[in-house]
Amino acid sequence: MSHYDCIIIGSGIAALAVASQLCEKLNVLVLTKGAIRTSNSSLAQGGVAAAIRKDDHWTYHYEDTRYAGCFHNSHDAVELLVQKAQHEMEMLIEQGMNFDTNEQGELQYGMEGAHQKPRIIHAGGDATGKELINFYIQKVNEKVTMIEHVMVTDIAIDTNRAIGVWAKHRDDHDAVLYKGAHIVLATGGCGALFEVTSNSSIMTGDGLAMAYRAGARLIDLEFTQFHPTMLYVNGVCKGLVSEAVRGEGATLVDENGRPIMEGVHLLKDLAPRDIVARTMQFERLKGHHVYLNISSIQSFKSRFPTITNLCLREGIDLESGLIPVAPGMHFLMGGVETDLFGRTTVDRLYAVGEVACTGVHGANRLASNSLLEGIVFGRQLASIIENGTLDRKNSTLIQSGATRFALPSKKEIQSIMTTYVGIERTETGLKHALSFFEQFVSEPTFFTNNVNVFTKKEVEIVNMLTIGWLMTKSALKRTESRGGHFRCDYPTENEVWRQQRISFSRREQIGVR
């Protein structure tokens, strides 16, 4: 058993932003399920949104974030994000981060959906996430303890206070307890609950499920963003095609060359993601194929080298000017409820990045606000920890009783979520999904069981069941269409949007299941 000042679970942009600020003063441990350089953040292509140009202003960025979020956003969270954006980017540049510039050495700005202005700064063309992760790893290298390919299975709790984490290095070994004065969840989202996703296959909602078992409150889980343009080859998702491609002038067309966004929205192909994804889904259900027409983009291969290599690897002829695409689960706007400093409803347990919900994204995230969120709120969280107390509880923790019970396969869960809790939802479909999940979560010890009795793959399934159940319940409760939550039986988005948030915590649900 080891003791640390701060334990960070995850290795994406939010995790590394926290670690980079704490590593000079504190003893920091980073535990990550995969490899350090293969987080969801490293897959981010578009860039970072920041109102830096002379003809731009943070108030425009604020308006765009609120509009994309269907005004479900937290005013304070959005204001904090957009006001700090320029300062954070300038600090990164001063520290040596190389964003793309023109021949005059000026930052290049991309345009993406629902933005009024070109304000997306990028690196490596379309490899911004990868470049940022490499930059942060250099900052924290040898200053923090990093352990790869270890799965954190649960949060150790003593009297509503997080005091450590249980982790499995290999399936055939017992879980190890790491104790820490502060525990940070930076585990990303839950895209792997769906059949088609831009996320890494290990994004099974682990941090969300662990927080729920620990007694933390989760919020707004019904708001799931489907990215319109996943490379789609022979019925299989092969990777993300950045929204920046449409920002450079690409259009969505069917097999006959008909622009499918004509007459749908004033911004056409740069409409908010939920609107574009639903339009594509509608066309696909009518039997049409959907393509990105890139023929108008000059120097496509040099501007988008990552996407070019992805397409060539999958046998796509870019000279044809058409890239086959389909929507896929991309981002969860809800998550573990936190304040503006990452504090959850459990003492000394924090959440940051996609696993957290500050309310900054509302019902639908604005393009290229995710990397920015990780950086801004990562520093916010770090400031609380570095100025706080490092006292530890000398608890003797004994793992609770363990019971094995039958679990479905990942594919069964993914099929249910994609069919009934996907881009479009109905009461009938959601109730069918809920019935499926309640076969398992109704097990008396499901939420109190010692999950370490299971293998790592089985713990993933337990987590997927937990979050699938909560997302379905949330989607049933919100009887309106709003942003990433579209109810076919309540399709009108011109209703007066309710401002209440739908939250769940395990303690509140006891006796209700």
Q: Are 108 and 399 in contact (CB under 8 A)?
A: no
Taking the C-alpha atoms of residue 204 and residue 228, their distance in angstroms, rounded to an integer, is 21
Q: Which of 119, 273, 348, 365 is catalytic?
A: 273
Q: Is residue 313 flagged as an active site residue?
A: no
Looking at residue 110, its amino acid is G
Judged on CB neighbours under 10 Å (0-12, 13-18, 19+), 238 is: middle
Specify the residue for token string 């459990």: 346
Q: Which residues contact 461 (CB under 8 A, 6 or more apart)?
A: 204, 407, 408, 409, 410, 413
Taking the C-alpha atoms of residue 242 and residue 230, their distance in angstroms, rounded to an integer, is 8
- Strand, helix or coil for residue 288: coil
CA distances from 153 to 4, 128, 410, 454 (A): 18, 30, 17, 10
- Strand, helix or coil for residue 272: coil
Q: Are 467 and 191 in contact (CB under 8 A)?
A: no
Q: Return the H-helix or E-strand segment holding 49.
A: strand 48-49
Taking the C-alpha atoms of residue 304 and residue 145, their distance in angstroms, rounded to an integer, is 35
Specify the residue for token string 């950086």: 375
Transcribe 74-124 into DSSP letters.
Answer: -HHHHHHHHHHHHHHHHHHHHTT----B-TTSPBPEE--TT-SS--EE-ST
Q: Are 426 and 488 in contact (CB under 8 A)?
A: yes
Q: How many CB atoms lie within 10 A of CB 418?
A: 17
CA distances from 292 to 45, 128, 296, 460 (A): 16, 21, 11, 35
Q: Return the H-helix or E-strand segment holding 441.
A: helix 427-441
Transcribe 4-39 into DSSP letters.
Answer: EEEEEE--SHHHHHHHHHHTTTS-EEEE-SS-TT-S
Tokens of 466: 């937990």
Transcribe 210-259 into DSSP letters.
Answer: HHHHHT-EEE-TT-EEEEEEEEEETTEEEEE--THHHHTT-EEEETT--B
Report which of 446, 490, 444 is spatially closest to residue 467, judged by C-alpha positions. 446
Our measurement of the distance from residue 31's CA atom to the centroid of its chain's CA atoms, rounded to an integer in Å, reads 18
Q: Are 324 and 291 in contact (CB under 8 A)?
A: yes
Task: Give the residue numbers annotated as catalytic, written as ranges.
Answer: 273
